[in-house]
Structure 1
Amino acid sequence: MKALIVIDYTVDFVVGKLPVGKPGVEIETRILEIVEQFANNGDDIVMAVDLHEEGDAYHPETKLFPPHNIRGTEGRKLYGKLEDWYAANERLVYWMDKKRYSAFCGTDLKQRLRERNIVEIHLVGVCTDICVLHTAVDGYNKGFRMIIHEDAVASFNPLGHEWAIGHFEKVLGARIANKGRGTDE
């Protein structure tokens, strides 16, 4: 059994308060294709979405990044066509708020996946070298097989993106899927 985890593909992370920018915009169509493929196959889909509270001086990211993905703001909505797809297919998705980089940290994600006999997770979203990376490290440590869709992850740091892709494959043993390389799922 497998599950797709869409990580932080929100307005704030693509074009808003902490934007990946053009690389994030460019993966929109591919993320939507993968989401639709998982939905059509009846596989689990998780939207793991960063959540911050306005004025939270105690969150560690407050010292590192400008305010982003604040509860109740437009910036926390899914980006572009993914928001429309989600609005029409909400019943097919597990929406999961997360407060740290990893989708596993402080959430019920591991339990939810284990209850469904999920052994393989597919990761897409942003940022390759932050939240996708930390989720992948935790997924590895929890014993999940991983597929990283290289053509559906992006970062505002091109060097960090490339480093993370190599780390996923060489250190975490993840398979790198990329439609352009003929390794699409």
Structure 2
Amino acid sequence: MNNALLVIDYSYDFAAPDGKLTAGEAAQAIEAAIVDRIREAHEARQPIFFMMDLHFEQDDLHPESKLFPPHNIEGTEGRALYGKVHDVYGEIKDEQNVFFIDKRRYSAFAGTPLNQLLQERKVDTVTLTGLVTDICIMHTAVDAYNNGYGIVVPASCVASFNPAGHESALDHFKNALGATIEP
């Protein structure tokens, strides 16, 4: 198995108590587990992709503008990686196996070079971490499945605003996408 770690949308706006679209305590509770996964992947020299939601001021044409309040606006603190994930990224960001990629849709694959970068590195399995389980993690998982990747989702590394949606997504990953759900 040739694995890559994806850290999806673990931003200030999604995780901080005062974030613009925060998943609150559930998002903060996964911080240490994500940091551990980043460190493990780094030590194993696996590719690590920090995939970050990107919006602009007056982004009225983006479909999310009708569903959610403005969040992850370019040039704001809200787009920064949150907490210790920010710190560990700062330690490793200049290494060849570490990538920070902006994304404009829920899926980390939509409109990004992610699939090509994974193929170039002969990755066959992606480990999905971050926020939120039943939106961006879900859409990324479906695209990973449709692109032929094995999927691992550590339940301790994903969270949502919606506990029922979180549980439903984990069930979907396992039973509809064949994902391995780890503790």
Cα shift at 1:153: 0.2
Structural mapping, 1:17-32, within 5 Å: 17-32=20-35
Q: Name structure 2 gaps, 5 residues minimum.
A: none
Cα shift at 1:85: 1.0
Runs of 4+ residues over 3 Å off in structure 1: none
Distance (whole Å) between structure 1 residues aligned to residue 43 and residue 177 of structure 2:
29
Q: Deviations over 1:44-102 (max 9, x none)?
A: 00000000011111000000000000001001000001111111211232000000000
Distance (whole Å) between structure 1 residues aligned to residue 169 and residue 146 of structure 2:
16
What is the aligned partner in structure 2 of residue 173 from structure 1? 178
The partner residue of 1:89 within 89, 92, 95 is 92
**TM-score (norm. length: structure 2):** 0.96
What is the aligned partner in structure 2 of residue 155 from structure 1? 160
What is the aligned partner in structure 2 of residue 104 from structure 1? 109
Residue 2 of structure 1 pairs with residue 3 of structure 2: yes
Distance (whole Å) between structure 1 residues aligned to residue 77 and residue 52 of structure 2:
13
Distance (whole Å) between structure 2 residues aligned to residue 75 and residue 107 of structure 1:
21
Q: Name structure 1 gaps, 5 residues minimum.
A: 179-185
What is the aligned partner in structure 1 of residue 56 from structure 2? 53
Aligned residues: CA RMSD:
0.6
SS at 1:96's partner residue? Answer: strand
* Farther off after superposition, 87-96 or 39-48: 87-96
Residue 13 of structure 1 pairs with residue 18 of structure 2: no
Q: Deviations over 1:97-118 (max 9, x none)?
A: 0000000001111000000000
Q: Deviations over 1:103-149 (max 9, x none)?
A: 00011110000000000100000000000000000000000001001
What is the aligned partner in structure 2 of residue 142 from structure 1? 147
Distance (whole Å) between structure 2 residues aligned to residue 128 and residue 57 of structure 1:
25
